[in-house]
Amino acid sequence: MFGDQLARVWDLIYQTGRGKDYHAEAELVAETVRARNPGARSLLDVGCGTGEHMVAFGELFDHAEGVDLSEPMISIARDKAPHTTFHVGDMCTFDLGRSFDAVVSLYTAVGYLPSLDALSAALRRMAAHLTPDGVLVVEPWWFAEKFLDGHVAGDVVQEDGRTVARVSRTERRDDRAHMEIHYTVADGNGIQSFTESHSFGIWTRQQYLQAFADAGCQVEYVEDVLYCGMFVGCRA
Ligand SMILES: C[S@@+](CC[C@H](N)C(=O)[O-])C[C@H]1O[C@@H](n2cnc3c(N)ncnc32)[C@H](O)[C@@H]1O
């Protein structure tokens, strides 16, 4: 999951192809944080991926750091923001030894966790990295209420002599969503194909709220923002 080949096409698919506006999303998150903590100066992005939000957070906060499980995704992020500190780590266990005025986790990174217990563990680690007035912002994956079994999607994106095709199909198996994704990348050197298998927890809004409570956090859910809404809160 999130190997080198995916890391190299991630920005092309989501930013260029799907028009995901990372800067506007980072501004919304910064406004949300400052509405609760006007003096917020530092931010940690958990599951920061290729660091597109981090580039904007670096402009919006005095100090921003990122953590992600995938070395290839972090490697792209480091190239983009060489003066920013990125850590390779698991959100369920990481310990950076400092706290932040905001801890955020965007674009459904928490959805990849293997169980609700793992979600609580990750939220506990995030909360442990908050300053006393710190704000937590977490974007979930699709709630069980909205999950579409058998959903298929497809994208073809072209840029700078490179064409990337992505097709995916997602199906429910027990309480998990299994997404199989096929990619084909064509450039001046030839055509290569690869697949990725991603697995998400299909959890209800109530189960997420319980996981935040179990992790000692008080949150509210804000609908119709970002991709899947966001939980916003603090340590209880
Ligand atoms: C859908 S991507 C989102 C990346 C980025 N936040 C964005 O908006 O483009 C999910 C990210 O979560 C990371 N991730 C998944 N499980 C993780 C874990 N247990 N700890 C840390 N990062 C994780 C993946 O490596 C991947 O970069």
Query: Distance (Å, rounded) from C-alpha 221 to C-alpha 236?
Result: 15
Contact between 233 and 135 (Cβ < 8 Å):
yes
| Separation of alpha carbons 44 and 53, rounded Å | 11
Q: Do 123 and 63 form a contact (C-beta atoms < 8 A)?
A: no
pLDDT score for 202: 96
The closest alpha carbon to 213, from 230, 198, 192, 234, belongs to 234
Q: pLDDT tens for residues 103-159?
A: 999 999 999 999 999 999 999 999 999 999 999 999 999 999 999 999 999 999 999
Look up the CATH number of domain 4-143+203-235.
3.40.50.150
> What DSSP designation does 10 have?
H
Res 175: pLDDT: 86
The reported pLDDT for the residue numbered 2 is 94
The CATH number assigned to the domain with range 152-201 reads 2.20.130.10
Q: What are the DSSP E strand ranges found in the chain?
A: 42-46, 63-68, 85-88, 100-105, 130-138, 152-159, 162-173, 176-187, 190-201, 217-222, 230-235
**What is the token pair recorded at 220?**
């509210």
Mutate to test the pocket of ligand 1, among 10, 91, 119 (most ligand atoms within 8 A of CB): 91
Identify the segments of the chain with pLDDT beneath 70.
none
pTM above 0.95, yes or no: yes
Domain boundaries of the chain, sorted by first residue: 4-143+203-235, 152-201
Give distance in angstroms: CA of 157 to centre of ligand 1.
22
Q: Ligand 1, atom 4: nearest CA belongs to which residue? A: 49
Distance 114 CA to ligand 1 centre (A): 13
Specify the pLDDT at position 236.
87
